[in-house]
Structure 1
Amino acid sequence: MDDFPRLLEQIDDVGEKITYRDALVMPTVVFPAGALPTLASGRLTDSPPQITRRMSIGEILAHLSSHGCNNVTEHLDPLGSTDYPVFNGGFGDIYRGSFRDGRSVGLKCPRLYIDSTDDGRRQLKSAAHELYVWSKCNHPNILGLIGVARYRNQLAMVSPWMENGTLRHFLSGQPPVDRYSLCAQIANGVAHMHSQGIVHGDIKSENVLISDDYTPKLTDFGNAALREYTLQFTATTSRPGMSLRWVAPEILEGSTGFTTEGDVYALGMTFLEVFTGSVPYAGINDFAIYSKIICGVYPGRPKQHMPFRHKQADPLWSLLLSCWAYNPQNRPTANQVRDKSHNSISTIIISMSLQPSLSFLRIGDPTAPHALELYLGQLYTSSPSFRHSPNRVDFTCPFSAKIFFKAIDPILKPAFTIGNYKGKVKLILRLQPQPWQVQVQVQVILVIEAALAVGRVAPEHFYTYVTRLFENQEQFFDIPVSNLTPIQIREKLVSLAPEGVDKAAVSELLKHKTTPNGGVAVTDDLKYNVKLGRQNGIHVTPSAVWDGLFMSDVSSSWAQEEWSKFLQAKVTV
């Protein structure tokens, strides 16, 4: 994939007129999706060594497949898609489809008619460029690219289906969600793109989708640009398309193209949408908006949604004003917006209490004035080398085990129960599965449910059981359990319960309810942990929260010296 830019340049050699139907006679291809099988060897591997001007689109894509592409056409259920587009626009149409295994997917079909004109070559190049940029984005707050397939004689970009639709549509239903957390997660996705050298170019609520668990995911990379390879395309002009209400003044004036500073400006406008549920400059016509943007006149503070002297609204509004600074050099970076969303805005809601069924997750005096919360669970990584690693399984996360054996057991537990901080700080363990790791989700759920079941049956033995889970984590890596049924995995987990635990009672709690999709007796406790982590913007583990605020500097490698300095700065002994 690293030589993709060079291949895109070769598309300029396409010369003779080709109909789109003819272009699809060859198998279509898809960029690597990680979990799907690669294309079988055969016709695609026989593609010519260079792209020539006589190739059809199918042949061009076949050539690209030799550079590490896959094909998901055979995974599509031909009877499982909508007859008509669920959304359409100038770029093309979006259908709802499904895989043969029942998973719903979105199918984005760009309108292409390739001929020897500049516009024709630009359309093909634009579609290929969008796919290339999209394939480089692997993050929980960015919509994942599954691949590309031939669909009804069209080229389709395939992604997971988001049932809640766009952020704008989602907000129109007045959902009971934490909007500060939504902002923080969107900023998290933008910061990741910028760290990869990618400028989005069209950030707004219509280009953010909402998953089933209310996770916002950036999408639509048609205007995206790479630092090392910048392309700007539309179907009719060499200038990129603009979304007026979100565009920065320097871009509107034409003095620059899309930039990270322009993304931050648009991010601020998107934050405003999150709280008002309306587009920026609502009720004002485009001509008047153009004048306001050029003159640096920005939307007024929506007092109904962001009241004055509010501990979260005030810092948020200050952040928005900094995002809209007329001089792009005076705007914060996406990383700074993300960090301020977590810290200054207090996205992490104070959540030091525990429901009664989870009281065993607390270490120390429950009345202690300070709380340290440690989220333990899976490791998230965007590195392809980790995609099939056991590191992602819940209690087998090596970094959660590291902080447990290096800090929790020898330092924090003694300090909060018998040491200088007894009665002053309580430690709360949060069991945090990461929903985006789909392929290991079964093990994740089973391990956490077992820990919750032991805690409910014998809370005094919960800590010992967690210790055993970490000590025996290799038994529950993905490969050792790959040939085991869920029942067999549960039996292994129950066998680790220490002496004094009623194992029969634990097993009973882990039996499925008779109602369909009812889960087991501790499923509601699992959901509580998932919802809490999602609401509080926790995306990686281990993560630390002190008195309700996310502590980005806490590390799993901290030893006695680092923890002593941290606690001395936070607590008066």
Structure 2
Amino acid sequence: MEDSAVNTNQLDWQDAVTRLAGYGCSNVTSKLSWTSDGDKMVFAGFYNIQMGTLAGYTGSVAVKYSNSQLRNLETLINEVRIVSRLQHLNVISFLGFVLTEPRQDEEQDGVKRLQSIGLVSPWVELNLRQWMQSKENIDRCRMAVQVAEAIMYLHDAGVIHGDLRSRSIMISNEGAVQITGFGASVLEQDTPDKEKIFHVVPRWTAAERFYKESTWPTKQSDVWSLGMVILELFSNEVPYSGASELRAISLIGNGRIPDQPSTFISIKPGFRQILWGMLLSCWQRDPKDRPSANVVRDILRVVNREGTTIDESIHLATERI
């Protein structure tokens, strides 16, 4: 199959099924059973995620499907187009797709939603932000290394994520990072389309994607976002914490980067400036001046090996004084 960006102008359900099968994603509808636990359903913007089980698979699965009919189908197919090329411990994998009418009787804009296509993946309970909020004495530096290694792997495979943030990073039950959210991803070989509109989340998105003619993502814009995720990990705060979304956009447009935190959780004093200097390099205004994900990973490895403390509660207690 021609490996090109998805165009849904003429797309119908059968076209979508054909595209998914062409990317090696099989129809597992007959194997799926929905869970009876109504709490295991997440309403996430344009998509819903519901728990189920899959015959022949050990453990629960997540089914991500569009909460409208053909709307957003393009991004679901694009996720499979991208992920089908990847195989890495720190990147989500798909178990197949389903054609389904979920249990809940839903409406979208007053119209009852009919059949939907859902992507099936292993169920993971917490994203990175939730994980940071619910756990104590977590190994933040190890997580940062894993995120950087995953982005390095994507870039080496010719994949640009385009929407890296804490909510697109899941943490498995084994404590491993899993990068998700490939709906806005592109391949390095894709021809940039100036007409294509990407939904961006201000706090993590590179400055040039706001003020340039095209919002097309690049490896360099991924590195900017990687820096924001690392900042969030070690400060326990979202980037531009305390500012509204509109204020954050204004700050980014005016060339402002986040303020340096008073401390970096679990990092020895002598290594905090090393870490901050690395983050500043990730946020260079000129994308060409930013380091590669490989360089970021290498610096984090050194910090992880030599510059971490055991008990993060020391830092959190200091912040409260």
How far apart, in 2, do the equivalents of 1:110 and 1:315 lie? 43
Corresponding pairs, count? 293
Instruction: Give the Å deviation of 1:279.
Output: 0.9
Gaps of 5+ in 2: 102-114, 308-321
Correspondence for 2:62 among 103, 106, 111: 106
Instruction: Give the Å deviation of 1:288.
Output: 2.5
| In the alignment, structure 1 residue 176 sits paired with structure 2 residue 105 | no
Equivalence for 2:261: 302
Instruction: Give the Å deviation of 1:242.
Output: 0.8
Task: Give the 3 Å change call, closer, same or farther, for CA 244–308 of structure 1 in structure 2.
Answer: same
| In the alignment, structure 1 residue 65 sits paired with structure 2 residue 21 | yes
Task: Give the 3 Å change call, closer, same or farther, for CA 230–179 of structure 1 in structure 2.
Answer: farther
Contact 2:25-2:80 at 8 Å conserved across structures: no
How far apart, in 2, do the equivalents of 1:287 and 1:68 lie? 41
How far apart, in 1, do the equivalents of 2:19 and 2:205 lie? 37
Instruction: Give the Å deviation of 1:299.
Output: 1.4
Instruction: Give runs of aligned pairs for residues 386-405 of structure 1, distance below 5 A.
Output: none
Correspondence for 1:240 among 198, 209, 215: 198
Equivalence for 1:278: 237
Instruction: Give runs of aligned pairs for residues 444-483 of structure 1, distance below 5 A.
Output: none
Instruction: Give runs of aligned pairs for residues 213-232 of structure 1, distance below 5 A.
Output: 213-230=174-191
Contact 1:223-1:232 at 8 Å conserved across structures: no
What SS does structure 2 have at the residue aligned with 1:266?
A: helix
- Could you report, residue by residue, the CA deviation over 1:7-43 in whole angstroms, capped at 9, with x for unpaired residues? x45x5444xxxxxxxxxxxxxxxxxxxxxxxxxxxxx
TM-score with structure 1 length normalisation? 0.47
Instruction: Give runs of aligned pairs for residues 146-157 of structure 1, distance below 5 A.
Output: 146-152=95-101, 153-157=115-119
Instruction: Give the Å deviation of 1:334.
Output: 0.9
| In the alignment, structure 1 residue 204 sits paired with structure 2 residue 160 | no
Gaps of 5+ in 1: 15-55, 115-119, 351-573
Instruction: Give the Å deviation of 1:75.
Output: 2.6
What SS does structure 2 have at the residue aligned with 1:157?
A: strand
Equivalence for 1:92: 47
User: Which letter maps to 1:220?
Assistant: G
Contact 1:306-1:313 at 8 Å conserved across structures: no
| In the alignment, structure 1 residue 128 sits paired with structure 2 residue 128 | no
How far apart, in 2, do the equivalents of 1:67 and 1:172 lie? 37
How far apart, in 2, do the equivalents of 1:61 and 1:175 lie? 44
User: Which letter maps to 2:147?
Assistant: I
Contact 1:200-1:221 at 8 Å conserved across structures: yes
User: Which letter maps to 1:286?
Assistant: E
User: Which letter maps to 1:290?
Assistant: I
Instruction: Give the Å deviation of 1:128.
Output: 1.4
| In the alignment, structure 1 residue 348 sits paired with structure 2 residue 302 | no
How far apart, in 2, do the equivalents of 1:66 and 1:294 lie? 41
Contact 2:78-2:184 at 8 Å conserved across structures: no
How far apart, in 2, do the equivalents of 1:151 and 1:176 lie? 41
User: Which letter maps to 2:157?
Assistant: Q
Instruction: Give the Å deviation of 1:91.
Output: 2.1
What SS does structure 1 have at the residue aligned with 2:51?
A: strand
How far apart, in 2, do the equivalents of 1:283 and 1:67 lie? 43
Larger relative strand fraction: 2
Task: Give the 3 Å change call, closer, same or farther, for CA 216–189 of structure 1 in structure 2.
Answer: same
Contact 1:225-1:232 at 8 Å conserved across structures: no
Instruction: Give runs of aligned pairs for residues 274-423 of structure 1, distance below 5 A.
Output: 274-305=233-264, 310-343=269-302, 345=303, 347-348=304-305
- Could you report, residue by residue, the CA deviation over 1:79-131 in whole angstroms, capped at 9, with x for unpaired residues? x35446632233210111122344211111123433xxxxx5xx333321221
How far apart, in 2, do the equivalents of 1:223 and 1:284 lie? 25
How far apart, in 2, do the equivalents of 1:62 and 1:253 lie? 37
Give the ranges of 4+ consecutive aligned residues of structure 1 lying more than 4 Å apart after TM superposition: 66-69, 230-233, 306-309
Task: Give the 3 Å change call, closer, same or farther, for CA 157–69 of structure 1 in structure 2.
Answer: closer
- Could you report, residue by residue, the CA deviation over 1:520-567 in whole angstroms, capped at 9, with x for unpaired residues? xxxxxxxxxxxxxxxxxxxxxxxxxxxxxxxxxxxxxxxxxxxxxxxx
| Higher RCO (C-alpha under 8 Å, 6+ residues apart) | 2
User: Which letter maps to 2:30?
Assistant: E
Instruction: Give the Å deviation of 1:241.
Output: 0.4
What SS does structure 2 have at the residue aligned with 1:240?
A: coil
How far apart, in 2, do the equivalents of 1:154 and 1:90 lie? 16
User: Which letter maps to 1:143?
Assistant: I
Contact 2:53-2:61 at 8 Å conserved across structures: yes
How far apart, in 2, do the equivalents of 1:63 and 1:214 lie? 33
How far apart, in 1, do the equivalents of 2:248 and 2:51 lie? 35
Q: CA RMSD in A?
A: 2.7
- Could you report, residue by residue, the CA deviation over 1:398-422 in whole angstroms, capped at 9, with x for unpaired residues? xxxxxxxxxxxxxxxxxxxxxxxxx
How far apart, in 2, do the equivalents of 1:221 and 1:66 lie? 18
User: Which letter maps to 2:49?
Assistant: I
What SS does structure 1 have at the residue aligned with 2:33?
A: coil
Equivalence for 2:207: 249
How far apart, in 2, do the equivalents of 1:126 and 1:325 lie? 30
Instruction: Give runs of aligned pairs for residues 491-570 of structure 1, distance below 5 A.
Output: none
Instruction: Give the Å deviation of 1:306.
Output: 5.3
What SS does structure 2 have at the residue aligned with 1:209?
A: strand
Instruction: Give the Å deviation of 1:161.
Output: 1.0
What SS does structure 2 have at the residue aligned with 1:335?
A: helix
Instruction: Give the Å deviation of 1:313.
Output: 2.3
Instruction: Give the Å deviation of 1:277.
Output: 2.0
How far apart, in 1, do the equivalents of 2:20 and 2:90 lie? 28
Equivalence for 1:162: 124
What SS does structure 1 have at the residue aligned with 2:212?
A: coil
What SS does structure 1 have at the residue aligned with 2:74?
A: helix
Equivalence for 1:5: 4
Contact 1:184-1:338 at 8 Å conserved across structures: yes
- Could you report, residue by residue, the CA deviation over 1:455-490 in whole angstroms, capped at 9, with x for unpaired residues? xxxxxxxxxxxxxxxxxxxxxxxxxxxxxxxxxxxx
Instruction: Give the Å deviation of 1:67.
Output: 6.7
What SS does structure 2 have at the residue aligned with 1:77?
A: strand
User: Which letter maps to 2:55?
Assistant: R
